[in-house]
Amino acid sequence: MPFRFNGASCIAVGTFNIYIIQPAWLRKVGLLENVEGVALEADLTEPGFRMQLPDLTWRVEPTRIVLETKGDCARCGQTMYAIFDKLPWTPLKAIGINSRHEAPAEELDEFIHRFPHPASASPINDGYAIAQKTWHAAFRKDKQQFNLQLSVNDEVAALTTNVHTELRNESIETAKEIAENFEVFQSLAVKMAINVFSLDIQV
């Protein structure tokens, strides 16, 4: 019952000028090579926009930039590195490196029994049923906190990993170094999850 890769993302939290970070500027500085096939979406009730590329999805908001992919994970880190390089004076608060793996819940019956779970009885009164079971572990080393979570509902089991680094008192070079090592941190978090939860993950 291997867990299969379902996506990765890199999130930068800080203060971003959404009127500068536009497709025209991204193309000018070399972050957007071709505007063909680019889909833009905007919510008129909130500032920011969503840009869909064939291999990467951008979400640009005043407080964060989110880069998501279902394919080449390296693109997330490489693109975030380039953003930091082009906007070196941007006030940054944190960077997150995330991944998600999934497996059908029906394949996990024997696996789930290894973990403690809440009693089937309602915690309040009759009429409630457990909608989801979740297990979480967090580890810290140096500047990074590794958050590992396994959640299971009736349909799917999802393993999510997050590597969080605070950047409030760090230089832009530190932020660039983390983005540049996106795959290293992501791979390490997945290996930690394999050991913590005794999982089989399809690489």
pLDDT digits (tens, 9 = 90+) for 53-102: 888 999 999 999 999 998 888 889 999 999 999 999 999 999 999 999 99
CB neighbours of 116 closer than 8 A, spacing ≥ 6? none
pLDDT of 113 above 70: no
pTM: 0.89
Q: Amino acid identity of 198?
A: S
pLDDT of residue 171: 95
Rounded CA-CA distance 12/21 in Å is: 14
| Lookup: tokens for 9 | 């993302």
Q: How many percent of the chain have pLDDT more than 70?
A: 87
